Structure 1
Amino acid sequence: MTTAANLIRFAAGEVGYTESPPGSNGNKYGQWYGMNYVPWCAIFVSYCFDQIDLPLPIRSAKGFAYCPDGVSWFRNRGQWFHDPKAGDVVFFCWRGDGIADHVGIVESVKPDGSIISIEGNTGIGNDANGGEVMRRTRTPGIILGCGRPPYTNPVASQTQVSRPTTPTPTPPHREVVKVPPNYHKDLVERLMGNKSNSSSKK
């Protein structure tokens, strides 16, 4: 069944998985995608959707490996939103430059507008290259936007927590995640096989 609840259930079952060896970007999702030992947050999201028979054919029949590709794909189809809902593909922007740095799956939305997301290649102390599938709490200030796939049924009401009717005020301080200035250039080169594994990864 291609429902948001089924996606969340599947993704939650992956929580705790870690790449091996640590720091290598080697993992089962990359093996499945045919592009192992590269940044894998988007590949993880693609894998989850493929496993519930709702693939996201963004760069290939299996999905995508580069976050900005996912943003463009959802925007071009009118499936881009700024009010996160459970089951959305949520894109994060660490530097405030409008370019997606990381991606996950919205598990639930809190009344204050923050979310619980299930993400691949994250970790405590390394938000975008931590090598693990984890649940993370994310604040509105780093959410670039959300892609909303065409599920066959809406998510179960108990999974989604509605936002208050009044707008959530902008946080006084933006959460900042440090990444090198050439982050996206290096990332594209690594995804194309032109960079060594020592480069910055998401």
Structure 2
Amino acid sequence: MSPRHAKPRFTLNRKTLAGVIAGTATAGAAAITVASAGPALSAQIPGATHQAAHHVAQIPNPGMGRAIQTNALRDDPRVKTRALAAPQKQVQKRLPSATDVLKLAVSQVGTTENAAGGSKFNQWFMGTPYAARGVAENGGSVGDYANASWCDMFVSWVGDQLGVKGMGADAFTPAHAKWFISQGRWGNAPKPGAVVFFSWNGGGVDGIDHVGLVIKDNHDGTIQTVEGNTDDAVKIRTRSTSSVVGYGYPEYAQ
């Protein structure tokens, strides 16, 4: 267990933190089917590089000339029966895959916290609506997040950077796990890209101490993970499944 996890998470109390938002990073919470991260992901890990969100170029709207002509035709009584151009389809940005998420997470390996115990993930979280709404509902201040334990802020950051649906976002691990449960995105299978919740001393969901992302199931009673705030840094770990409370499943591309 990271020394940071032995400390209080915030100056706020646990009851206060339970109100921190467990809303989605960028989208709603529809039922999902989780896809695997694809073949031989672990072989890609040592040389993994940062992969930004996949942006699909938007097809521009028809040129002004066509728009003006269409309007003119609509108003011309001689061509009232002429079919107008069909509405243009919207181009949808594809969902990130579990592989996308793990590549980004692994690209952060080696990131450490500052001398005060915070990190770039704390700074990011403080500027999000999740922090602001938690303070509005439960008191305290956004500054309380500055040097708090940041394992869940790391997971939330990864989901937010790639626009992952159904990832949720929180700074308090039990609240995040309960959100996955409430959305029907909870289970016991260590699928690649799943959000894994740990309790070092038991206690079920309310006893959750730590969170990370599953890289792979080792099929020997352990899983490989990438985690924030483990020994005060982002690291790849091998964890016993005996410490796992459960897994949250974001919505990934098929």
* TM-score bin (small chain): 0.5 to 0.7
Offset of residue 113 of structure 1: 3.2
Aligned partners of 2:242, 2:156: CA distance in 1, in Å?
25
Equivalent in the alignment of 2:150? 40
Greater percentage in helix: 2
Equivalent in the alignment of 1:2? 96
Pair 49,114 (structure 1): closer, same or farther in 2 beyond 3 Å: same
CA contact (8 A) 2:98 2:193 kept: yes
Deviations along 1:106-164, whole A, 9 cap, x unmatched?
A: 011112131011000002xxxxxxx10000100011011100001122xxxxxxxxxxx
Q: Does 1:52 align with 2:181?
A: no
* Percent pairwise identity: 38
Equivalent in the alignment of 1:152? 253
CA contact (8 A) 2:165 2:250 kept: no
Segments ≥4 residues shifted beyond 6 Å:
none
1:65-84 equivalences under 5 Å are: 65-84=171-190
CA contact (8 A) 1:57 1:64 kept: no
Equivalent in the alignment of 1:92? 198
3-state DSSP class of the match of 1:90? strand
Equivalent in the alignment of 2:14? none
Q: Does 1:142 align with 2:243?
A: yes
Structure possessing the higher radius of gyration over alpha carbons? 2
Q: Does 1:116 align with 2:224?
A: yes
Mark the runs of 5 or more structure 2 residues left unpaired by the alignment: 1-94, 127-144
3-state DSSP class of the match of 1:106? strand
3-state DSSP class of the match of 1:26? coil
Amino acid at match of 1:103: V
Equivalent in the alignment of 2:76? none
Equivalent in the alignment of 2:111? 17
Offset of residue 25 of structure 1: 2.0
1:24-35 equivalences under 5 Å are: 24-34=116-126, 35=145
1:142-181 equivalences under 5 Å are: 142-153=243-254
CA contact (8 A) 2:166 2:251 kept: no
3-state DSSP class of the match of 1:9? helix
Aligned partners of 1:79, 1:28: CA distance in 2, in Å?
28
3-state DSSP class of the match of 2:159? helix
CA contact (8 A) 1:2 1:151 kept: yes
Equivalences, count: 140
- Give the TM-score normalised by the residue count of structure 2: 0.53
- Give the TM-score normalised by the residue count of structure 1: 0.66
CA contact (8 A) 2:109 2:236 kept: yes
Pair 45,57 (structure 1): closer, same or farther in 2 beyond 3 Å: closer
